Structure 1
Amino acid sequence: MQKKGLLHQVIQHLCCLPGVGPKTAQRMAFQLLQRNRDNAKALAEILLKALAEIGHCQQCRTLTEHTLCEICVDASRDTTTLCIVESPADVWTVDQATVFTGRYFVLHGHLSPLDGIGPDELGLDELERLLAKGEVKELILATNSTLEGDATAYFIGELATKHKVQASRLASGVPMGGELEFIDRGTLSHAFKGRRKIE
C-alpha cells in the first residue's frame, strides 16, 4: 500500500469526516479522482468558498454566509419562542422535521467541565442578554439526551426561571414504530417518566 503521495493524503483527509473510515475514504478518493473529476473540482471549489464566506449568525449563532441567517431575518417566525440546540446541524434537523416556527439559539456544544467547556464557551452570556430583553416567553430545550445535555438543559432552565421565561424540555422515549423489547432501559425509563394523558 502506498504511504506517500497526494492520493494517500486525500484518503487521510477524507477520514476526518464523521463515519468515514479508511476503506470508505479510499473508495471516495478513487471515485472522485478516477470517475468523477468534474464533481471533485466543483466540490473543492465550493468547500474553499464555504470556508472563506460562511461564519456564524450574529443572533442565533448558526452557520450562515450573511450577518443574520435566513431564520433570524424571517419576519414570519415567532420571536417569543426560542429553541436551544447544541449544533447548527440540529437547527436543520428540527426545522426540517417539525412544525416549529420560532427561532433558535445554537450552543456549539454542551457543558463539560472535564473538557473545559463552561457557560462562557457556550455563549450563555449572550443567551442571558437575549432573555433579559423580555421578548422571549418560552425556551424549548432541545439539547441531546445525554448526561451533559441534561446538565446543560438544567443550567439553562435555571437561567430561564431567573428571567421569568417558561422552559420546556423535549420529550424523549419510545420512537415511532419502536417495539418495547428492542428499547434500551434508559430510553424506556424516560418514556415512563415523560408519559402524558391521552386526550
Structure 2
Amino acid sequence: MTKKFALSSALVAATLAFSGLAQAQQAGTWLFRVGAMSIIPQVSSGDLSAPSVPGVKIDVDSSTTLAGGISYMLTDNWSLDVPLAIPPKHKIKGDGAISGSGEIGTTRVVPATMFLQYRFLEAQSTWRPYLGAGLTYARFYGEKGNGTLTAITDPGGSTTLSIKSEFAPTVQAGMTYSLTPQVYLDGWVGKTFLKVRSTLSTGQHIDTKLDPVIVGLSVGYRY
C-alpha cells in the first residue's frame, strides 16, 4: 500500500509539474521579473551653437541600475511587456574641442517603454526566444551642470542645462529559460533611436543622437 501511495504521489507531482510547465507562458499568464539593466549610449554629438568655440561636443557615459518588468501573455505567442527600473544617472562629458575637460554635468532619465513581443516556440518550451518593438518616452530630470561647464560657456557666471524629453522607437531581442515551472531567467538586448536637444541657460543648445543599447538580465516568476 505504501509503495502504491508513493508511486501515485510521484505521478501526481510529475503531472502537476508538467502541467505548470505547459502553462508557463500561455495566454493569460503574468510574468514578473527583477534584475539589472545597463543603458549604453551610442553618442553622435552635434556642435554647441554660437557663441562657442568651434567643435564643442558632448559624450554620455553608460549607467547600470536595478531593473525588472511585467509581461502579460495576450496569446501563447504574443505578449505586452513594460520594463521597470530605478532611474539611472548618466555623466555628461566634454568631447570634440573640449574632449579633455572631463565631466561637465549629470542627468537622470526615466526610460518609460511598452513593448509588443512575439515569443517563438510553444508555451511549454524551456527556451523561448522573442522579438519586441515598442515606444519609449525618455523623460530627463535632475540635470546639473558643474563648474567646468560654466568655465567653458560663461566664465564668471553659473551655467545650468536642461534636456528635452522625447518619444523614440525601441526594438529588442531576448530569450527566457525555465528553471522551474514558475521561475525563469530572462535576458534581452534592445536599442532606442533617440535624439535630444540640450539647452543651456546661456541660450546655447546642442543636438545629440544618444541611440542607447540596453542590456537586461533578470530572474522572473510566472503567475
Q: TM-score, normalised by structure 1?
A: 0.23
Task: Name which structure has the greater RCO, CA cutoff 8 Å, separation 6+.
Answer: 2
Determine which structure has the larger strand proportion and give its number.
Answer: 2
Structure having the larger proportion of residues in helix: 1
Structure of larger gyration radius: 2
TM-score (ref. length: structure 2): 0.22
